Amino acid sequence: MNAEPTDRKILVVDDDAGFASDLEMWLRREGFCVHVTHVGKAAIQFHRLYRPYAAVLLDLHMPKVDGFEVLKEIKGTDVRTRVAVLTADATTHERASAMGADAFVVKPINREGICRLMQQLATTTLS
């Protein structure tokens, strides 16, 4: 692929460690540099330290600092980073969209679909 390394950097945020590991593996196979965290507070720190990210794949339902707080922080400080929210609860779509989510994915997901989405988001970033 011809993309620069920063154009290929993805942040995965999901409190399900096994699922996050699967996402990381899938996205690395697609040529992305992947950072993973299982905690909302750490996601905010990663974003502050390592941005720009081509995209963020963000679980909305996490303990303590949830995905909505992470989304608010990311979009409040970096509107260019594309954020795909990931949830098992389809009723959160409107709230996430109003907060600036660029894409909405309802679990369960498949590898092909999530990789295609992240490729699309990454190619529309940093332009």
Note the pLDDT of residue 107.
82
Note the pLDDT of residue 1.
35
Radius of gyration of the chain (CA): 13
What whole-number distance in Å separates Cα of residue 97 and Cα of residue 59?
14
What whole-number distance in Å separates Cα of residue 87 and Cα of residue 106?
5
Please list the rounded mean pLDDT of every run of 10 residues in the chain (127 residues): 59 95 96 96 95 93 93 93 89 91 89 92 68
Note the pLDDT of residue 3.
39
Note the pLDDT of residue 29.
95
Note the pLDDT of residue 6.
52
What whole-number distance in Å separates Cα of residue 107 and Cα of residue 17?
15
User: Domains plus CATH for the chain?
Assistant: 5-123 (3.40.50.2300)
Note the pLDDT of residue 111.
92
